[in-house]
Amino acid sequence: MLNELPALHSGKAIRETTVGELNIAGIPGITVPAGYYDSGAPFGLIFLGLQWSEAELLNQAYAYEQSTRHRRPAV
């Protein structure tokens, strides 16, 4: 399990993600809220799809988001 991102201007490094590889591969992805760390900071889940599957990917991400209700309004 990954740790929470360090605070802004903390001087600590942020671990790399797979977003760069997804861009190079040319596959679609959509990020949805997946929960919260103990501090209250959110973390997300990336849904990936095959090329040209954006409509199905959006449907799956929306269904996940509606069933989990992790999204909270911004404060």
pLDDT at 16: 63
The residues spanned by each domain of the chain are: 19-68
- Which residues, in sequence order, are CB contacts of 34 under 8 Å at separation 6+? 43, 44, 45, 68, 70
Q: Is 23 helix (H, G, I), strand (E, B) or coil?
A: helix
pLDDT at 5: 72
Q: What is the pTM of this model?
A: 0.70
- Element of type H or E holding 34: strand 29-36
pLDDT at 39: 81
Q: Which long-range contacts (CB under 8 A, 24 or more apart) does 49-56 make?
A: 51/26, 51/27, 53/28, 54/28
pLDDT at 50: 93
pLDDT by 10s per residue, the chain, length 75: 567 777 778 888 766 666 777 788 889 999 999 998 888 888 889 999 999 999 999 999 999 999 999 988 877
